[in-house]
């Protein structure tokens, strides 16, 4: 893992946006895995402002609430169109978001996995992290080899997401999420985490043991994961001085 600690969330997001832009310029038909939540909003704004060409890009979102109408303002479908897709020239046919109202969930999840494979696999996956260490909506105890399926949210996640819905009872209890195995198949990961409420999950992910109780910790097994942090999210890391030194002294040929 490469740990990139910047002076602010904005500075970290700018570096992450350049990494993504680099992939899109190098490979116009890139396949991106996308995330929702508060964390990537600024990233999407920066990408929009870069005026990249998205015509051939395909996207696969990590997750969606089960039972929430697509047009609900808090559906991840609505989120993605409002925060990214309506501002770029992506072909709507290349946009994939799990359908939380699919009549047959099991076959929908299987088909989602198939579509990712048919697209050639995910080149770069954007990730946030839950305060409980989840990636996608793979809550603690999720199988580290899991594929796209239905999951039940933890109380913690429903409390964390209550801010979007007014109160916790309004937060759907079930979701469709790419599995941890699905996420691990992506060729590259860009994980963003900002704020003191993420510090514990970040420290466990980066420096703790690999365990299904901290699903993001499996990223230690991935050959190309970059973790972008502000100082608050980095504050429980034991080796932050080392990570800062590494980043500041990267040889030019490593700076992509």
- Active site (catalytic) residues: 63, 132, 134, 139
Provide the CB-side half-sphere exposure for 7 (13 A, CA).
1
Query: Which residue, 38 or 152, is less far from ligand PGA as judged by CB?
Result: 38
DSSP H helical ranges for the chain: 9-26, 41-49, 76-83, 105-118, 155-165, 180-184, 199-207, 240-248
Closest distance of CB 135 from ligand PGA, Å: 7
Interacting residues with ligand PGA (CB under 6 A): 37-39, 128-130
DSSP code for 256: -
Handedness of CA 184, 4, 130, 38 (dihedral sign): negative
Query: Which residue, 123 or 160, is less far from ligand PGA as judged by CB?
Result: 160
Q: What residues have CB less than 8 Å from 83, skipping those under 6 apart?
A: 40, 41, 44, 45
Query: Which residue, 76 or 85, is less far from ligand PGA as judged by CB?
Result: 76
- The first and second tokens of residue 53, run together, are 């060409």
Query: Which residue, 33 or 128, is less far from ligand PGA as judged by CB?
Result: 128
Closest distance of CB 111 from ligand PGA, Å: 24
- The first and second tokens of residue 189, run together, are 């990961």
Closest distance of CB 89 from ligand PGA, Å: 26
- Specify which residues 4 forms β-bridges with: 228
Closest distance of CB 37 from ligand PGA, Å: 3
């Amino acid at each position: 893992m490469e740990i990139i600690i910047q002076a602010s969330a904005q500075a970290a997001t700018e570096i992450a946006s350049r990494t993504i832009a680099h992939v899109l310029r190098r490979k116009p038909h890139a396949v991106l895995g996308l995330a929702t939540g508060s964390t990537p909003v600024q990233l999407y704004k920066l990408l929009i402002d870069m005026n990249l060409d998205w015509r051939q890009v395909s996207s696969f979102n990590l997750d969606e609430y089960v039972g929430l109408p697509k047009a609900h303002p808090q559906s991840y479908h609505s989120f993605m169109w409002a925060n990214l897709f309506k501002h770029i020239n992506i072909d709507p046919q290349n946009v994939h978001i799990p359908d939380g109202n699919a009549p047959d969930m099991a076959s929908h999840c299987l088909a989602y996995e198939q579509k990712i494979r048919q697209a050639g696999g995910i080149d770069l996956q954007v990730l946030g992290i839950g305060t409980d260490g989840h990636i996608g909506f793979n809550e603690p105890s999720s199988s580290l080899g899991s594929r796209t399926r239905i999951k039940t949210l933890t109380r913690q996640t429903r409390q964390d997401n209550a801010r979007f819905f007014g109160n916790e009872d309004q937060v759907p209890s079930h979701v469709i999420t790419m599995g941890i195995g699905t996420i691990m198949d992506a060729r590259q990961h860009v994980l963003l985490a900002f704020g003191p409420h993420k510090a514990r999950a970040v420290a466990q992910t980066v420096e703790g043991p690999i365990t299904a109780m901290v699903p993001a910790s499996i990223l230690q097994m991935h050959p190309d994961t970059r973790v972008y942090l502000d100082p608050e999210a980095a504050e429980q890391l034991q080796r932050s001085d080392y990570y800062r030194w590494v980043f500041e002294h990267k040889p030019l040929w490593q700076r992509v």
